Amino acid sequence: MKRAGFASRWLPILLLVPQLSIILVFFYWPAAYAVKSSFYLQDPFGFGQTFVGLENYSALAGSAEYLKVANFTMIFTVLVTFFSLALALLLAVKADKVIRGAKTYRTLLMWVYAVAPPVAGFMGLILFNQRWGPLTEFFGALGWDFNLRADYVDTAFAMVVVSVWKQVPVNFIFFLSGLQSIPKSVREAALIDNRSDSGRFWDVTFPLLAPTGFFLLIINITYALFDTFGIIDTLVQGEPGNNPMTLVYKVYVDGFRGNDLGGSSAQSVVLMILVLALTVFQFRMVERRIHYT
Amino acid sequence: MNTMKNTAKFTAAAAAFALAGTAAFAQTEITWWHAMGGNLGETVNKIAEGFNASQDEYKITPVFKGSYEETLTSGIAAFRAGEQPNIMQVFDAGSATVIGAKGATVPVQDLLAENGVDFDINDYIPGVRYFYADSDGKMIGMPFNSSSPVMYYNADALAAAGVEVPATYEEFEEIAPKLKEAGYIPLVQTHLPWEFVENFHSRHNLPFATNANGYEGAEGTQILINSDEMKMHFTKVKEWLAEGYFGFFGTGWDDNQSQFEAGKAAMYIGSSGDFGGLTTKGMPFEWGSAYLPYWASITEEGYQTFIGGASLFAMAGKSAEENKATAEFFRYLTSPEVQYMWHRETGYVPVTTAAYELAKADGHYDRFPAAETGPKQLMLQSGENTRGYRMGFYVQIRDVENRELSRVLSGETTVEDALATIEKEGNELLARFAKTQG
C-alpha cells in the first residue's frame, strides 16, 4: 500500500499553523501565565509584586477551608455524576420501550437541556425559597426544616438536585441513541436465552452501553467539576458565607472577586493538574478495557 | 481604525454643528465606569445628563459594568491594557486594593486642587470624611453612594408588645421577651460583617486593626477581632438566637430583610438606604428607623458609624484636559443640589453637610423621617477609631467572617473558636496582601 504524503515538509506545518497558533494563544499562553502568577503575590494593578516561590501552594495545603472545599467538590462530583447517569439511564430504558407518542415523550425529556445553568439555579432559588418555596413547604410537611443558604447541608442538597436535573437530559439523549444502536438480532437472541427483563439488561444491554456510559462518565465528571458554576453562583447569590462551594467557584471567589491573583492562580494550576489526570485516566486506563462494537 | 474613529467623530461633530449650530470647539470627553444597575443606574445617567447640559466644554459618559466586583476587575484589566476609564466606582471592601496601588489613581484632593476646584474636607459629613482618605487625612477617593447600618422597626409590633424602640442592646434585651410573646422575631440583621463586626467597632470606638485601623500601611497590619467585646457580643447574639429573641436566615441580605417585610420580624438592622425600597413597596404596617444599637456596658454614648457603599476614583494616566473635566464633574457631583437629588432618589446619604442642610430646609425629613437617621448617625461623636478601616484582601476577610459567624449561629463552632479562626485567617490574608504591595 502506498503511503499518501506531502511533497514538501513545510506544507503540513503551514496547514497546522492556524490551529496551533489558536491553541498557543488561547490555551498555552494563559496557562503558562497562570503557572507563572502562582509563584508571585501581585498587586492587581501591576505596581508591586513579590516572588514567593511555592508559598501560594503551601497556603492552599495548609488551609482547612480549601481542603473542606476540595472535599465537598469530590462528594458533589460523585453524587451529581452518579445520579444524573442513573436517572438518565432509567429514563432512557423506559423511553426506549415506549412506542406510541415516543417522539413527543422524548422531546419533553430533552427540553431541560436548553436551560442555561444560571437559569436552572434561579429556578432552584424559587423552588427552595426559605419562606414560600414549594419544595421547602413540602419538606416542611415531612418534618424537615429546610433552610436554603442558612444550612450547609440543605444548600448542598439543593445544589446537587438542581445540577442533576440540569444534566439528566444530555445523558438521556446519549443513552437513548446508544440503546437504539444495539442490533435487534442481539436483543432477540437475548430474549430467547433469558426471560427476565432485568437479567437481560445487566447481561446484555448494560455491557453494550458501556462505551456510551464511559464517555458520559467523563463528560459528567467535567460537568460537575466545572459547568455547575452558574448554578452554584446563583444559589449562593455571590455570598458563599457558610455554604458549600466547588473548587472552581473558589477560584472565582478569591481571584475575580477578591483580586488575589497569586492564590487563585495556584488554585487554577491545581485544577489544571486535575484535568490532566482525568484525561490520562480516560485515555490510558479505561479506553483500552472498554470494547467498542 | 483611527480613520474610522475620526470619521465617526467628524460625523458626530458635523451633526452636532448642524443641529445646534454650536460645537465650535472640541469637547473633552470622559468615561465613568459604575456598578449601579436598575433605578440607581438611571439616577447615575440623570446626573451625567445634568452635568453635560450644565456646560458644553465637557461630556461624561457613564458605563454600567455589572456588579461591584465586575466593575473593579474590568477596571483593573483595562488599566493594565492602558484603556482605563477616567472615573471608576470602587466598593468599600475593595478600596484598600485601589488605594494601595499607588500610581493607579490620582488622589481626588490633588486633582481638585490642581484644577482650581475649591475643596475643604470639613464640608463633608464627619462619618464620610476620612473613609477613603490616606493616613494624613488626604481624600483619595470621592465618596459617592454612601450608607450606614441603622435599625428599622415595625411600630405596630412594638405597640402590640407595649415597648419602645431600644437605643442600646441592653434595652433590647429587656424588650425582646415581650416582642417574642407578641408573636414576633424581635430582631434580625442583614449583613454580619458590616453590621455586627465593622460598625460594631466604630459604634463603640474600638480599634479594628493595628497601624491605626490599617491606614498607616499594609505592612504589619493585623485585625483586632478577637477581643472581649466581640466575644461578649456574639455570645449574647447566640443566647438571643437560642431564646428566640433573634432570627438568622443565612448570609443573604434579602433572606433576612424579607422577614421584616413579611411582618414576622419586629426589627431589623439594615442599610440607611433601605427606607426608599420600604416606602416604594409599601409595608402593611407603620414603621420607622433608629440608630444602630450599642452596648452601654462598652460606651456610655454611641459613636458615629462607618459608611458602606462605594467611592469614585480618578484613574491615573489621563491627559490634563481630561483630568480637568473629571475635576469639574466632581465639582458638579458634590454640589448640594445634585447631592440632594441623589439622596432623594436613591436613599443614599448626602456626602456634604450643605446637601444635608438643603434636604432639611426642603422638608425632605418631614416627609420621610427615616431618611434622616443615616446622615444624623454619621454626625454623632467621633473617636480615633471611627474614621474608617483599611485592610487588604478585605473581600476575602469578609468571606471568612461570614462563614465563621454563620457557623457560630448554626452551632457548628463556638464564639471563641470562630473569632480565633477569623483572626488567624484574616492575619494570613493581610500578610499576603502586604506582599502584593512588594
- Which CATH number characterizes residue A195's domain? 1.10.3720.10
pLDDT at res. A3: 65
Q: Is B403 close to A41, i.e. CB distance below 8 A?
A: no
Residues of A in contact with B218 (CB under 8 A): none
Q: Does residue A48 sit within a domain?
A: no
Q: At a CB cut-off of 8 Å and minimum separation 6, what does B229 contact?
A: B200, B204, B206, B295, B298
Q: Across residues B423-436, what is the average pLDDT? A: 96
In this model, does residue A59 exceed pLDDT 50?
Answer: yes
Assigned domain for A50 exists: no
Mean pLDDT, residues A11-23? 93
Round to whole Å and give the CA distance between B288 and B199. 21
Which distant-in-sequence residues (6+ apart) come within 8 Å of A134 by Cβ? A127
Check pLDDT > 90 for residue B17: no
Please tell me whether residue A171 adopts helix, strand or coil conformation: helix
B100 in contact with chain A, both atoms CB, cutoff 8 A? yes
Q: Which of B103, B396, B410 minimises the CB distance to A254?
A: B396
Quick one: DSSP state of residue A2? P
Q: Does residue A293 belong to any structural domain of this protein?
A: no
How far is residue A84's CA from residue A91's CA, in Å, rounded to a whole number? Answer: 11
Contacts of B438 in chain A (CB under 8 A): 41, 43, 48-50
Residue A195: inside a domain: yes
Q: Which domain holds residue A277?
A: 55-286
Q: Do A48 and B438 touch (CB under 8 A)?
A: yes
Question: In angstroms, what separates the C-alpha of A142 from chain B's closest C-alpha?
Answer: 20
A131 vs B362, higher pLDDT? B362
Q: Which of A26-35, A172-181, A189-198 has the lowest mean pLDDT?
A: A189-198
**Chain B CA closest to residue A47:** B101
The whole-number pLDDT of residue B11 equals: 53
For range A135-154, the mean pLDDT = 93
Cross-chain Cβ contact A151/B432 below 8 Å: no
Quick check: B116 contacting A, CB < 8 Å?
A: no
Residue A40 lies in a domain: no
Residue B257 has pLDDT above 70, yes or no: yes
In the predicted model, what is the mean pLDDT of chain A? Answer: 90
A41 inside domain: no
Please tell me if residue B217 touches chain A, with a CB cutoff of 8 Å. no
The arithmetic mean of pLDDT across residues B295-301, rounded, is 97
pLDDT at A145: 92
Residues 385-404 (B) with a CB less than 8 A from some CB of A? 393, 395-396, 399-400, 402-404
Does residue A51 sit in helix, strand or coil? Answer: strand
- With an 8 Å Cβ cutoff, is B76 touching chain A? yes
B72: Cβ contacts below 8 Å, ≥ 6 apart: A259, B88, B90, B91, B94, B97, B98
The least confident of A76-80, A197-201, B264-268, B329-333 is A197-201
The pLDDT assigned to B136 comes to: 92
Cα B1 to Cα B5, B8, B264, distances in angstroms: 6, 11, 60
Identify the structural domains of chain B with CATH numbers, from first to last.
25-147+307-371 (3.40.190.10), 149-305+392-436 (3.40.190.10)
Grid look-up 486593626 returns: B209
The confidence score (pLDDT) of residue A50 equals: 93
The pLDDT of residue A188 is 87
The secondary structure element, H or E, covering residue A217 is helix A206-222
Mapping DSSP to helix (H, G, I), strand (E, B) and coil, where does residue A49 land?
Answer: strand
Whole-number average pLDDT of chain B = 93
- The whole-model pTM stands at 0.90
Does residue A117 fall inside a structural domain?
A: yes
| pLDDT 10s digits, A218-240 | 999 999 999 999 999 999 988 89
CB contact at 8 A, A209 and A175: yes
- Which position has the higher pLDDT, B404 or A3? B404
Instruction: Mean pLDDT check: name the lowest of A287-291, B38-42, B309-313.
Output: A287-291
Task: Kindly state whether residue A21 falls inside one of the protein's structural domains.
Answer: no
Count of domains observed in chain A: 1
Length of chain B, please? 438
ipTM of the complex: 0.88
